Amino acid sequence: MIACGGDDPVTDTQAEDGTTGDGDGDGDASDSGDGDGEVPDAGMKLPARRLSHFEYQNTLRDLFPHIEVPVFDMTADPSSEGFDNDGEALVPSGLLIEQYDNNARAIAKLATEDLPTLLGCDPAEGESCAQLFVDEFGRRAFRRPLTAAERADFMAFFLESPGSADMRVGAELTLQLFLQSPQFLYRLELPAEGEELPAAGEFAPLGEHEVASRMSYFLWSSMPDETLLAAADDGALSTPAQLEAQARRMLADDRAKDAFLHFHEQWFDLGRIDTVSKLPEHNFDDQMRASAKEESLRFIEHVIFDEDGTLDDLLTSNRTFVDERLAAIYGVAPPEPGVWAEVELDPTQRAGFMTQVAFLAGHGHPLNPSPVLRGVYSLKDVLCWPLGAPPPVAEAMMIPEAPDGQTNREAYEALTAADECQFCHEIINPVGFAFEHYDTLGAWRDQDNGNPVDASGHFQEAMFNGAPEMMSQLAQRSDVHRCVSKKWLRFAYGGGRVLLTPDILPQTEGSFADADFSITELMVAIVTHPRFSSYAAPN
């Protein structure tokens, strides 16, 4: 039960206890914070996984480097456990299929404006040029060489009228067919050629092109490049050393930033800042929303890619980036208009992404900060602590406005004092109260309604006074390390069923610890784990 006291957005909060119906099959025990519970249906997965819109857009960008690919407006992908790439949730609708058709037509028209570049040969060569295009483009679009039957079918389609008389028209129509094919829109993950289907709950090696796609969509959120495809062609993705070498090469590529930032944008729940409301006098307009989100993304990129940072850095670093508007909230000297500056904030006031404006303002109400929203996020998304849905009465209760002489903390304590609320709020409130030094915009405050701020809190045996102290303690907790490992596994495999693989979570967490909680080393550990290159047979 999340916000028994009735904070407004609690209805969009999903628990890590499997009660949200996302289809992962993760029961209460497995997601309860210790990850050691017994769960049925171990190993079940879908062999076909639709590209998320983010992956689809990136794939089009890399598939057509010679054009400016439009950003398509598409019906929103569903979010499962906070991520948009869950294979079981990505079920296409009739509207989405229509949008794929429209997108394919638009891309094909743009791409054929420079026909020789698209085809990779002289259109005057006719059928031989068409064959080269089908083979080479098809290999890139399907992330593997075409089968003999596919090759014949696409060539026959290309050379039908009017393509038989007009290479541009033939290429345009064939592109539309490629871009609406299941082999392009889905990642089909089946055992390697010659491997028998394993028994239910057992594993078999994936084909190397399937491994290449799994790597690229994990590390880049996009298609494999030529180097990775060539490695798959040559059978050079079969050993941990080969996978590690490719992973490190890919992590050094700028495309890795896309996937990392997309993961953290979802994990940090940065989308909240786009819709949260503040009072008119706060001037919290679209420009401020954009600045708050940009700060967090710059911080993530700097920590992970510039500093080769760790989980501890994400949770506790007091360095961040400000423009002239954010500087006012943080109380630091503003840079020139339009300039971003790296700043070091007071370590007694700021520690990591959860003391930045995007998180604090995103988890605050128009009038007052919300210890419930901030506490729920800390428990659900940093500790993976199981929280169920709020009772119906919670949504009918008003967000408190502290009367004169009462603090925000006291108002929330009064609102959630009933026995039916305390079942949840005796856990939520003491965590959320650690953020009471920050107002609804995220600015620091020592006084609240004329009274000293009380930011003391606790979780289990841990006692802390203020968010920086809590963040320092969270960074050292094994349940936080396990939670972060769990979230990266879910993202890497496109769903939570991987967590049903015996021992994969403690093994991944152990590798994370061995690497001193380096985020990029966690990526390498996931890629080189035997499960990453295997097909799990459904039960």
Bigger pLDDT: 209 vs 39: 209
Do 165 and 267 share a domain, yes or no? no
pLDDT band at 389 (very low <50, low <70, confident <90, very high): confident
Do 183 and 305 share a domain, yes or no? no
Do 452 and 344 share a domain, yes or no? yes
Q: List all residues 6 or more positions away from 233 whose beta carbon is below 8 Å from its beta carbon.
A: 145
As to burial, measured by CB atoms within 10 angstroms (0-12 exposed, 13-18 middle, 19+ buried), residue 162 is exposed
Is residue 478 a contact partner of residue 315, using CB atoms and an 8 Å limit? no
Q: How far is 223 from 63, CA to CA, in rounded Å?
A: 8
The pLDDT, as a whole number, for residue 225 is: 98
Residue 2 has pLDDT above 80, yes or no: no
- What is the average pLDDT across 469-485? 98
Do 424 and 298 share a domain, yes or no? yes
> Of the candidates 188, 222, 241, which is a domain's last residue?
188
To the nearest 10°, the Cα dihedral for 506, 510, 511, 513? 140
pLDDT tens-digit readout, 173-194:
999 999 999 999 999 887 888 8
The pLDDT, as a whole number, for residue 539 is: 64
Do 333 and 470 share a domain, yes or no? yes
Q: Which of 10-14, 170-174, 282-286, 291-295 has the lowest mean pLDDT?
A: 10-14
> Of the candidates 424, 446, 474, which is a domain's last residue?
474
Do 296 and 425 share a domain, yes or no? yes
Do 340 and 463 share a domain, yes or no? yes
As to burial, measured by CB atoms within 10 angstroms (0-12 exposed, 13-18 middle, 19+ buried), residue 401 is exposed
Copy the structure tokens of residue 17: 């206890």
The pLDDT, as a whole number, for residue 398 is: 63
The pLDDT, as a whole number, for residue 172 is: 97
Which of the 8 DSSP states describes residue 33? S
Inside any domain, residue 531: no
Residue 61 has pLDDT above 70, yes or no: yes
Inside any domain, residue 520: no
The pLDDT, as a whole number, for residue 47 is: 66
Do 183 and 277 share a domain, yes or no? no
Is residue 112 a contact partner of residue 171, using CB atoms and an 8 Å limit? yes
The pLDDT, as a whole number, for residue 48 is: 83
In 3D space, the residue among 426, 498, 513, 439 whose CA is nearest the CA of residue 81 turns out to be: 498
Residue 388 has pLDDT above 90, yes or no: no
To the nearest 10°, the Cα dihedral for 103, 207, 81, 83? -40
In 3D space, the residue among 366, 346, 369 whose CA is nearest the CA of residue 434 turns out to be: 369
Residue 33 has pLDDT above 70, yes or no: no
Inside any domain, residue 357: yes
Please give the mean pLDDT across all residues of the chain: 89
pLDDT tens-digit readout, 332-373:
999 999 999 999 999 999 999 999 999 999 999 998 999 999
């109380």: which residue's tokens?
331
Which of 276-280, 398-402, 524-528 has the highest mean predicted lDDT (pLDDT)? 524-528
Q: Compute CA distances 161 → 122, 158, 463, whole Å.
A: 20, 8, 75
> Of the candidates 414, 448, 474, which is a domain's last residue?
474
Inside any domain, residue 465: yes
3-state secondary structure 224-242: CCHHHHHHHHCCCCCCHHH
Rg, C-alpha atoms of the chain: 25
The pLDDT, as a whole number, for residue 536 is: 81
The pLDDT, as a whole number, for residue 492 is: 97
Do 143 and 266 share a domain, yes or no? no
Inside any domain, residue 202: no
Bigger pLDDT: 152 vs 15: 152
Q: Which domain holds residue 339?
A: 261-387+405-474
pTM exceeds 0.75: yes
The pLDDT, as a whole number, for residue 392 is: 67
Inside any domain, residue 327: yes
- What is the average pLDDT across 396-406? 73
- Give 20's Cβ-side CA count (13 Å radius): 20
Q: How far is 462 from 477, CA to CA, in rounded Å?
A: 10
Number of domains observed in the structure of the chain: 2
Inside any domain, residue 209: no
Q: How far is 143 from 155, CA to CA, in rounded Å?
A: 18
Q: How far is 26 from 179, CA to CA, in rounded Å?
A: 34
The pLDDT, as a whole number, for residue 15 is: 30
Q: Compute CA distances 59 → 72, 94, 250, 302, 525, whole Å.
A: 13, 22, 15, 25, 25
Give percent of the chain with pLDDT exceeding 90. 78
pLDDT band at 396 (very low <50, low <70, confident <90, very high): low
Inside any domain, residue 398: no
Do 168 and 269 share a domain, yes or no? no
Is residue 505 a contact partner of residue 96, using CB atoms and an 8 Å limit? no
Do 308 and 448 share a domain, yes or no? yes
Do 153 and 276 share a domain, yes or no? no
Q: Which of 98-112, 231-245, 402-416, 504-518 has the lowest mean pLDDT?
A: 402-416
The pLDDT, as a whole number, for residue 141 is: 98
Cα–chain center distance at 280? 32
Q: What type of residue is 179? A: L
Residue 164 has pLDDT above 80, yes or no: yes
Q: What type of residue is 312? A: D
The pLDDT, as a whole number, for residue 193 is: 82
The pLDDT, as a whole number, for residue 230 is: 98
The pLDDT, as a whole number, for residue 393 is: 66
